Amino acid sequence: MNLSIVISASAALLLSILSLRLLDAYYWSSIRSLLPFTRSSPVADLIVWNGTIYTSDASLLFADSMAIRSGRVLRVGSYSSLKELVHSGTKQLDLGGKVVVSGFIDSHVHMIFGGLQMGRVELRAVNRKEEFVRTIEEAARNSKSGSWILGGGWNNDLWGGELPVASWIDEVTPANPVWVTRMDGHMGLANSVALEVAGVSKLSKDPKGGTIARTADGELTGLLIDSAMKLFLGSIPEVSLNERREALVRASKYVLTKGVTTVVDFGRYYPGAPVEFSWQDFSDVYQWADSSGRMIMRVCLFFPMETWQLLLDQINKFGRVLSQWIYLGGVKAFADGSLGSSSALFHEPYVNEPHNRGLQLIEHERLLNMTVASDKSGLQVAIHAIGDKANDLVLDVYQSVTSINGVRDRRFRIEHAQHLAMGAAARFSQHGIIASVQPDHLLDDADSASKKLGKERADLGSYLFQSLLGSNGSLAFGSDWPVVDIDPLHSIRTAIKRIPPGWEDPWGRTECLTLKEALNAYTISAAQACFLDNDLGSLAPGKLADFVILSTDSWDQLAAGGSASVVATYVGGVRSFP
Output the pLDDT for position 37: 41
| 513: pLDDT strictly greater than 70 | yes
Looking at this protein, which amino acid is placed at residue 465? F
| pLDDT tens-digit readout, 263-295 | 999 999 878 788 999 999 999 999 999 999 999
Q: Taking Cα atoms as reference points, which of 541, 535, 524, 536 lies closest to residue 82?
A: 541
pLDDT of residue 153: 87
Tell me the CA distances in angstroms from 431 to 386, 411, 436, one per residue in order. 19, 9, 15
HSE-up (13 A, CA, CB side) for residue 530: 38
Q: Are 357 and 347 in contact (CB under 8 A)?
A: yes
Check pLDDT > 80 for residue 2: no
Q: 194-208, 301-315, 489-503 — which is least confidently predicted?
A: 194-208
pLDDT average, residue stretch 372-397: 98
- Beta strand 62-63 with 52-54 is antiparallel
Reported as a single tens digit per residue, the pLDDT across 416-448 is 999 999 999 999 999 999 999 999 999 989 999
Asked if 159 and 192 count as a contact pair (C-beta separation under 8 A), the reply is no
- Residue 244 backbone zone (phi > 0: left; psi -120 to 50: alpha; other: beta): alpha
The number of CA neighbours under 13 Å toward the Cβ of 108 is: 31
List C-alpha distances in Å: 215 to 6, 166, 201, 202, 218: 120, 12, 13, 10, 5
DSSP conformation letters of 212-231:
EEE-TTS-EEEEEEEGGGHH
Q: Tell whether omega for the bond before 578 is within 30 degrees of 0, i.e. cis.
A: yes
Mean pLDDT of the chain: 91
Taking residues 527-539, what's their average pLDDT? 97
Q: Read off φ and ψ for residue 488, nearest 5 degrees.
A: -55, -40
When pLDDT is cut at 50, 70 and 90, the band that residue 40 belongs to is low
Q: Which helix (H) or strand (E) holds 570?
A: strand 566-571
Quick one: pLDDT at residue 274?
87
Phi and psi torsions of 156, nearest 5°: -60, -20
| 10-24, 199-213, 259-273, 294-308: least confident range | 10-24
Q: Say which range, 199-208, 342-351, 457-466, 493-502, has the weakest mean pLDDT.
A: 199-208
Phi, psi of 331, rounded to the nearest 5 degrees: -125, 155
Query: Residue 56's closest CA among 560, 536, 441?
Result: 536
In this prediction, residue 427 carries a pLDDT of 96
CB atoms within 10 A of CB 256: 22
Q: What are phi and psi of 377, to 5 degrees?
A: -85, 0
CA atoms within 13 A on the CB side of 32: 9
pLDDT at 383: 98
The residue with greater pLDDT, 157 or 552, is: 552
Give residue 6's pLDDT.
Answer: 42
- H/E stretch holding 73 reads strand 72-77
- Non-local CB neighbours of 417 within 8 Å, separated by 6+ positions: 385, 386, 391, 428, 435, 436, 437, 468
How many helices (H) and strands (E) would you count in the chain?
A: 21, 24
What percent of the chain is predicted at pLDDT more than 90?
81
β-bridge pairing 380-385 and 413-416: parallel
Residue 16: pLDDT over 60:
no
Lowest mean pLDDT among 54-68, 219-233, 248-262, 541-555: 219-233
- Spatial strand order of the sheet with 380-385 comes to 104-109, 260-265, 298-304, 326-334, 380-385, 413-416, 434-437, 475-477
Of 61-70, 103-112, 200-209, 485-494, least confident by mean pLDDT is: 200-209
Expressed in percent and rounded to 5, the helix, strand and coil fractions of the chain are 40, 20, 40
On whether the CB atoms of residues 412 and 455 are closer than 8 A, the answer is no
| Kind and range of the H or E run holding 468 | helix 465-469
What is the secondary structure of 384-414 as a DSSP string? EE-SHHHHHHHHHHHHHHHHHH-------EE
Q: What is the mean pLDDT of residues 325-333?
A: 98
Q: In this model, does residue 36 exceed pLDDT 50?
A: no
Q: What is the pLDDT of residue 38?
A: 45
* Contact between 246 and 357 (Cβ < 8 Å): no
Query: Rounded to whole angstroms, how far apart are CA atoms 8 and 79?
Result: 58
| CB contact burial 510-527 (16+ within 10 A = b; e otherwise) | ebbbebebbbbbbbbbbb
Residue 230 has what pLDDT? 83
pLDDT in tens, 105-138: 999 999 999 999 998 999 988 999 999 999 999 9
Q: How much is the average pLDDT of 437-463?
A: 95
Q: Are 108 and 264 spatial neighbours (Cβ–Cβ below 8 Å)?
A: yes
For 71-98, what is the mean pLDDT? 96
Confidence of residue 31 (pLDDT cuts 50, 70, 90): very low
Tens-place pLDDT, residues 237-247 = 889 999 999 99
